[in-house]
Structure 1
Amino acid sequence: MFSRTENFSQYIRLYPVVTVLLALNIIIALLGYIPGLGDHIYFGGMGINFLIAEGEWWRLFTPMFLHAGFSHLLFNMFSLFVFGPELEKIAGKARFLTIYLLAGVFGNIATYFLQPLDYASVGASGAIFGIFGAFGALVYYTKHILPQLRQIIVPIIAIGVIMTFLQSNINVTAHIAGLIVGFLIGLSYFHPKRIISWKKR
């Protein structure tokens, strides 16, 4: 289910939303290495709570396309590359994009309200955890139909949550909020009738 066997052109054709999100994050990361421009992009889009409080509301959206270094980008984009396609295929392009963006935005909103004013963060992790949350909702509806999905997703979610609290410099608020939002949206999208039709394809 989560093993990617498509070639490059097939991947782009089958999963256009995931492809665009991957491209945006990678391009923005590469632009970040350009002297002057990189700092402008990074600090202009970082989620800085006291600047959000002063009216820079775009910072509730832009942090999900910025990353603090190569390893941060690699982890999030690898997760999107592996887990995003299956959710895009099941949910559809518009619904997948809705899950991804709303989980990311609400993760940043939760960070704004629950963290101090001097708190700053970047990363797509809230949106990535939204994908995991949506799969959690799918598991909830299909636990007796697709036990193999539960065997894969539940440990991934559990490990992700545990690592969130064990690692340093992690926006715990965005991770947990993204996970919850993804789960709630998934509950509304993945009605059992939808799953049955998907199984028949």
Structure 2
Amino acid sequence: MFFRNESFRDFLQFYPVVSVIVAINVILWLLMFIPNPLSPIIYTWGVGWNVGIDLGEYWRLVTPIFLHSPNDVSHILFNSFSLILFGPALEQMIGKFKFMLVYLITGIVGNVFTYLVGTSALHLGASGALYGLLGLLLYMSFFRLDLIDPASKQIVTVITLIGVFMTFIQPGINISAHIFGLIAGFALGPIFLTHAVPYSPWRNQRRRVVRSDGLNYDPNRWDKRRFRFRMNRNVSSIIWWIILILAVLGILAGVI
């Protein structure tokens, strides 16, 4: 469920919402990291700031979801890996529009409760949204076992428990965003998983559009695909294990 063999091009085609979110996050981070006239503008007007919300700047409940600390490359790195790990399966299972809604709703819920708690600290990051995805997967693990395999259920449960535990013991963590994002994702489970279908890598293969005029038939085309799969499978598995380890390290470090 969390390990696939897509090429980069196929990943962009099969999971466009995840790809766009990661691209937005990285581009905005680069614009803040590299000195330029836009850097202070993006940070000043996008960072979560409860005083600003009190003054009517309600967009600050949304914009922090897509911003990450320009002084900490691990922040954007681990968050991106976590989204790439957990997002694609959900995007396929519930659909692009529902996935986008879950990501935004849970991220906003995390920021709303950050505001209600009344902290004066500035905050930014996709923590609420990412924990929202974990919350949805956690609901699936308990109440929709038809949608998740035992190994994936174990991964979700362990990472969620570690993430919640580290949320309360690591300094400088936006506890409200983590916990209420997780709760929001779990609460959305009965609604957004109603018509969900189990994840299947073969469904992606059937979506491939083969452009042909019918005159260039290659009788060995299936053999070529099998050969390419054998060549890439081990490399892809290693890459996805690295992504999983980095995502877990991100949770342990308290940066997501």
TM-score by length of 2: 0.73
CA distance in 2, matches of 1:199, 1:84: 12
**Partner amino acid, structure 1, of 2:132:** G
Matched, 1:84 2:97: no
CA distance in 2, matches of 1:178, 1:97: 14
Matched residue, 1:29: 29
| Larger relative contact order, structure 1 or 2 (CA cutoff 8 Å, min sep 6) | 2
Out of 76, 88, 93, the position equivalent to 2:96 is 93
Cα deviation, residue 163, structure 1 = 1.5
Query: Which whole-Å deviations, capped at 9, do the CAs of 1:129-151 have from their partners, x for residues lacking one?
Result: 01100101111223477333321
Cα deviation, residue 98, structure 1 = 0.6
**Partner amino acid, structure 1, of 2:22:** L
Of the two, which has the highest radius of gyration? 2
TM-score by length of 1: 0.92
Matched residue, 1:124: 126
**Partner amino acid, structure 1, of 2:45:** G
**Partner amino acid, structure 2, of 1:184:** A
For the Cα contact (< 8 Å) 1:141–1:190, is it kept in 2?
Answer: no
Matched residue, 2:154: 151
What SS does the aligned partner of 2:198 have? helix
Cα deviation, residue 189, structure 1 = 1.8
**Partner amino acid, structure 2, of 1:58:** W
**Partner amino acid, structure 2, of 1:65:** F
> Structure 2: any 5+ residue segments left out of the alignment?
204-256
Matches within 5 A, 1:164-183: 164-183=167-186
The aligned length equals 197
Cα deviation, residue 199, structure 1 = 7.2
CA distance in 1, matches of 2:122, 2:12: 33
CA distance in 1, matches of 2:136, 2:58: 26
CA distance in 1, matches of 2:152, 2:4: 16
For the Cα contact (< 8 Å) 1:134–1:187, is it kept in 2?
Answer: no
CA distance in 2, matches of 1:150, 1:198: 13
For the Cα contact (< 8 Å) 1:137–1:190, is it kept in 2?
Answer: no
CA distance in 2, matches of 1:29, 1:189: 30
Please identify runs of 4+ aligned residues in structure 1 that moved more than 4 A: none
CA distance in 1, matches of 2:75, 2:83: 13
Which has the higher mean CA deviation after the structures are superposed, 102-111 or 181-190?
181-190
Query: Which whole-Å deviations, capped at 9, do the CAs of 1:163-191 have from their partners, x for residues lacking one?
Result: 11122211010011110111111222223
Cα deviation, residue 65, structure 1 = 0.8
Query: Which whole-Å deviations, capped at 9, do the CAs of 1:17-68 have from their partners, x for residues lacking one?
Result: 0000000000001111233321210121001001100101010000011111
> Structure 1: any 5+ residue segments left out of the alignment?
none
What SS does the aligned partner of 2:188 have? helix
What SS does the aligned partner of 1:3 have? coil
For the Cα contact (< 8 Å) 1:107–1:174, is it kept in 2?
Answer: yes
CA distance in 2, matches of 1:64, 1:142: 28
